[in-house]
Amino acid sequence: MRRFALLLIWIAVVAPASIEPGRDERSSNKEKKTSDAAERSHCPRLLPPTGGTYNCFVDRYGTHTCSAACWPGLEFQSPSQPLICTAADGVWTPTDRFPNCIRESTAAGTCPALLAPVYGGYSCRMGSDGVKTCSGSCADGYEFDAPTTSLTCDPNVGTWTPTDQFPNCRPSTRARRSSQVATQCEPIPPPMSGSYSCMLDHLGRMTCNPTCMDGFEFEAPPAAEYVCADGAWSPPGPYPNCVFAGQKCEKIPPPVWGSYHCQTDHTGTERCYPACMQGYEFESPAAAEYVCINGQFSPPGPYPNCRKSEGE
């Protein structure tokens, strides 16, 4: 009887441990399978939106969910939504990039910049309802060649009425009859993001001065005045363009075995692009562009260095 009782105890306690794998072993095998699946698939690295950043969350199944945000003063140029990548397939959905960010002042629903009339200028005022009204004027001795001299824009609509530009100015009837204005100069085009105004003195001499829009400044000093004499301008022009007067960004050093170039668009936004020498490639992916926003580049840099291409 005693032997029978000992046999039952052995079956209940010892046998299960020898038949089933331990719980720790099962857990280890499960973790190993999850790790192997993660190694077999990889979610490509995302680029941040121009003028913004993003952050991601990874759940216990290896699914990446990333959301983007714009820097202060900027907004997405198109609706942004979270991007999702599963460890099973390594593909981002619904797309593999975020929309870029643009300045709020240039987004849809605002009033586009106006060009000054040739041989004239304009001034604007903002009503209490936010509607912007701009009135054009001609230099002395000139008059508009069309009747529309006042333009209105509701920022909620974003279009000028009744037209999107001022008529140009031409010598007035009195000036055309005067021998003092016998020789005219071809108008100098207005500076980018700016305008100019001109004045005709009693001798028939035309003097013009360029100006920049609010928030912009000349990229190079203009002449004190531009004078038309004997059918030619002195100095000859063109006027220097205007650039955004915000904080300038400190240049990012060029990559090792590479270089970069920058350009500034009509809004004054500076964009830089790195490149490697022939026969070289980036050590890690470079951003599509590096944009100067509020005195800092986005992304901040530095540029990735270059190394000899494989097979070179």
Q: For the chain, 312 residues long, give each residue's pLDDT as a single digit of tens.
A: 555 555 444 554 444 444 444 444 444 444 444 334 334 457 888 888 877 777 777 777 778 888 887 776 667 777 778 888 887 788 888 888 888 877 654 444 577 777 777 777 777 777 777 788 888 887 766 788 887 788 898 877 778 888 888 888 877 765 554 444 445 788 888 887 777 878 776 666 788 888 887 767 888 899 989 998 778 899 988 999 887 666 678 889 999 999 998 887 666 678 899 999 988 999 999 998 999 877 789 898 899 999 998 866
User: The tokens 């995302």 sit on which residue?
Assistant: 46
Predicted confidence at residue 183, as pLDDT, reads 55
d(CA 226, CA 229): 10
Of residues 265, 258, 194, 204, the one with CA closest to residue 229: 204
* b/e burial code for range 295-304 (CB count within 10 A of at least 16 → b): eebbbebebb
Give this prediction's pTM: 0.32
Peptide bond into 285 cis (omega under 30): no
pLDDT recorded at residue 79:
76
Q: How far apart are CA 115 and CA 192, in angstroms?
A: 9
Closest to 25 in 3D by CA, of 17, 36, 13: 17
Within 8 A by CB and 6+ apart from 239, the residues are: 188, 189, 190, 191, 194, 196, 210, 222, 226
User: 307 pairs with which residues across the strands?
Assistant: 281
Dist. CA 159–CA 155, nearest whole Å: 8
Return d(Cα 142, Cα 264) in angstroms, integer.
35
What pLDDT is stored for residue 217 in this prediction?
A: 82
What's the pLDDT at 39? 40
Q: pLDDT value at position 254?
A: 92
What does the chain come to in residues? 312
Over the range 67-96, which residues count as b (16 or more CB within 10 Å of their CB) and which as e? ebbbbeebbbbeebeebebbbeeeebeeee
